[in-house]
Amino acid sequence: MHERITDFSEVEQVLNSEDRMLQASRCMDCGIPFCHWSCPVDNLIPEWNDLLYKGDWKGAYMRLAATNNFPEFTGRICPASCEHACVLNINQEPVTIRENEVAIVEKAFAEGYIKPEPPEIRTGKKVAVIGSGPSGMAAADLLNKAGHWVTLFEKDEKAGGLLRFGIPDFKLSKATVDRRFDLMIKEGLIVKTGVNIGKDISGKEIAAQFDAVCIAVGAMHPRDLNAEGRELNGIHFAMDFLSTQNRVNNGQIIATDNPINAKNKKVLVIGGGDTGSDCVGTSIRQKAESVTQIEIMPKPPVDRADDNPWPYFGKVLKTTTSHEEGCERFWSLSTVKFIGENNQVTGVEVEEVEWVYKDNHHSMEVVPGTRRIIDADLVLLAMGFVHPMLEGLLTELELELTQRNNIKVNANQSTNHQKIFAAGDSVSGASLVVNAIASGRKAAKEIDRFLRKV
Ligand SMILES: Cc1cc2nc3c(=O)[nH]c(=O)nc-3n(C[C@H](O)[C@H](O)[C@H](O)COP(=O)(O)OP(=O)(O)OC[C@H]3O[C@@H](n4cnc5c(N)ncnc54)[C@H](O)[C@@H]3O)c2cc1C
Ligand code: SF4
C-alpha cells in the first residue's frame, strides 16, 4: 500500500495465466447463467470461462469480443453485477469474472490477435458521433465496422470522455484508452478533438452534413450544494479536481501549477459514491493531511438485507482500495453550512439525520442536538450529476427531454429528429461504463438499420 499511495498509476495487476484458468474452472456452467442475465452487455460468461479453463485463450477472446467492444475497460472498472449474480455468490465466493475478463483481453493484446480489422466494404454513408466517452466509442466502433464512415467529435483536447478525464489513472491507465483509440483509428475511424458541437460547429450543420448523428455527450451537469458559505474559496466540484489531476498525469498541466491541490490539506469529500471514493484516492496521492468522506444516506449493511436477495446486485457496504488507503467515513450526515475565514473555507457544519419510511416513501429527519463542525480547508462536492449540459448542442437542436432533463429517445434510440439518435449517460442519466457501452451498441445497431433503409 505504501508504494501504491505514492503512485498515480494503475493499481490492479493481472493474475498469472495458470491462476486465471484455475478461477475459470470454478465456473459451473449453470443451467440458468444468472451472471449472463445480470451483465448489461450480455457477456457470454460461462462460454468464455469454459474456453479459458480449457486453455483456449483466443477462443475465449472471440466469445468475449462478440458482446463487448471494450473488455479492457469493463474488466478493470465494472462493478461486476455478474459476480453479485454468480451462483457461487450465494456463499459469497463468486468466480472472479471481471478479473477473468481483463486477463482474456490483455492476453489477446499481448499475443497480437487483436489487430486493426478495417471493414472490407464501405457503404458510403457518413455518421457523426458527438462525444467520445464509452457510449460514443462503442457506437462509433460498431458503425465503422459495419462499413459506414464515422467521425467522432470531442470537445476536450483528448478523446475518451470520463474514461480519460474523470476516472483516475490508478483505476484505469490512460495508455489503455489510447491503445483502443489507436486501433479504431487504424480501422478507419476519424477522431476530431477540440471541437465543441453546438459552439464551434452547430448541431444543425452536423445534421445536414451527415446521414445520421449519434449524440453521446454524457451527463456532466454536477449536483450542487447550495448551503450558506458555498461561495468560499476551497470548495470545488469533484470533476474539476479529478480531471485536473488526470491532466497532470498526462503531462498537460505541470503538477506545481495544479490549482486544486490537496497537499497538506484537510480534505472533506461530500458524497459517498464512486466519484467520492476517487477523490479520496487522489487526495491521498496528493499527500493530504487528512481525508474525510461523508454521505447523507445511511451506512449500507455488510451483508445483503432481506429485501435485497441474491441474484440482484448486493446493496452492501463497499470499501474501495482508496478507502483502505486511509480515510474516515461517516454516514447519515447532512451539510448545514460551510464555515470560513478570509474567504477561505475552514470547516463544514454537519448534523445527523435519520431515514424513516412513512406514507410509502423514505424521508429524512434531523436528529436534534447533533450539529458539529468537521475541519476542512479543501471541500470536494461529489454528489453525482443531474443531467447532460443543456446549453449549447441540446438547446440548439431543440431536443426533446425527459422529466429529468435527459435526452428523450424512443425504443430505437432516436430523438425527436429522425436522423439524430442518442446514447449513454445523456439518455440514462449518470450511470456506468458498461451501461454506456451497451447503450452505444444499441444505438449503433438502430442507426445501421436506419441507414440501410434510407
Ligand atoms: C469520477 C468518476 C468515476 C467513475 N468511475 C466509474 C467506475 O469505476 N466504473 C464505472 O462503470 N463507471 C464509472 N463512472 C461512470 C462512467 O464514467 C460513465 O457512466 C460513463 O463514462 C458514461 O459514458 P458516456 O459515453 O455516456 O459519457 P462520458 O464518458 O461522460 O463522455 C461524454 C463525452 O462527450 C463530450 N461532449 C459533451 N458535449 C459535447 C459537445 N457539445 N461536443 C463534443 N463533445 C462533447 C464530453 O467532453 C465527453 O468527453 C465514473 C464517473 C465519474 C465521474
Ligand atoms: S461487463 Fe461487468 S457485468 Fe459484464 S461480465 Fe464484465 S464485469 Fe461482469
Residue 161 Cα to ligand 1 middle (Å): 5
- State the virtual CA torsion across 225, 229, 231, 233 in degrees, nearest 10: -110
What percentage of the chain has pLDDT greater than the value 90? 90
Could you tell me which residue, 179 or 252, shows the higher pLDDT?
Answer: 179
- Residue 424 CA: nearest ligand 1 atom is 26
- Residues 306-363 have pLDDT tens digits of 999 999 999 999 999 999 999 999 999 999 999 999 999 999 999 999 999 888 888 8
Q: Does 46 contact ligand 1 (Cβ within 6 A)?
A: no
Residue 167 Cα to ligand 1 middle (Å): 9
Q: Does 274 contact ligand 1 (Cβ within 6 A)?
A: yes
The per-residue pLDDT for 288 is 97
Q: CA 319, CA 331: separation in Å to the nearest integer? A: 13
The per-residue pLDDT for 2 is 64
Ligand 2, CB cutoff 6 Å, lining residues: 39, 41, 43, 45, 74, 78, 80-82, 97-98, 101, 434
Q: Where are the alpha helices (DSSP H) in 66-121?
A: 71-77, 81-85, 97-111
Q: Does 438 contact ligand 1 (Cβ within 6 A)?
A: no
Residue 413 and residue 424 in contact, taking contact as beta carbons nearer than 8 Å = no
Confidence category of residue 13, pLDDT binned at 50, 70, 90 = low
Across 13-27, 273-287, 423-437, least confident range:
13-27
Q: Find the ligand nearest to 128 CA.
A: 1
Task: Specify the DSSP class assigned to residue 313.
Answer: P
Would you say residue 1 has pLDDT above 80? no
Mean pLDDT of the region 398-422: 97
Q: Find the ligand nearest to 213 CA.
A: 1
Residue 111 identity: E
The per-residue pLDDT for 16 is 83
Q: How crowded is the C-beta side of 251, counted as CA atoms within 13 Å?
A: 1
Mean pLDDT of the region 5-29: 81
The per-residue pLDDT for 12 is 64
Residue 431 Cα to ligand 2 middle (Å): 14
Q: Cα separations (Å) of 284 from 264, 272, 326?
A: 10, 16, 8
Prediction pTM value: 0.97
Residue 68 Cα to ligand 2 middle (Å): 9
Q: Find the ligand nearest to 81 CA.
A: 2
Q: Find the ligand nearest to 385 CA.
A: 1
The per-residue pLDDT for 139 is 99
Q: How crowded is the C-beta side of 237, counted as CA atoms within 13 Å?
A: 12
- Residues 371-408 have pLDDT tens digits of 999 999 999 999 999 999 999 999 999 999 999 999 99
Q: Where are the alpha helices (DSSP H) in 126-173?
A: 134-145, 162-165
Could you tell me which residue, 359 or 11, shows the higher pLDDT?
Answer: 359
Spatial CA neighbour of 34 closest among 101, 80, 71: 80
432, three cell numbers: 456506468
Residue 123 and residue 418 in contact, taking contact as beta carbons nearer than 8 Å = no
What percentage of the chain has pLDDT greater than the value 70? 98
Q: Does 278 contact ligand 1 (Cβ within 6 A)?
A: yes
Would you say residue 256 has pLDDT above 90? no
Would you say residue 87 has pLDDT above 80? yes
Would you say residue 213 has pLDDT above 80? yes
What does residue 364 show for φ and ψ, rounded to 5 degrees? -105, 130
Confidence category of residue 11, pLDDT binned at 50, 70, 90 = low
Could you tell me which residue, 251 or 135, shows the higher pLDDT?
Answer: 135
Enumerate the β-bridge partners of residue 364. 355
Q: Name the residue at shortest CA distance from atom 6 of ligand 2.
A: 98
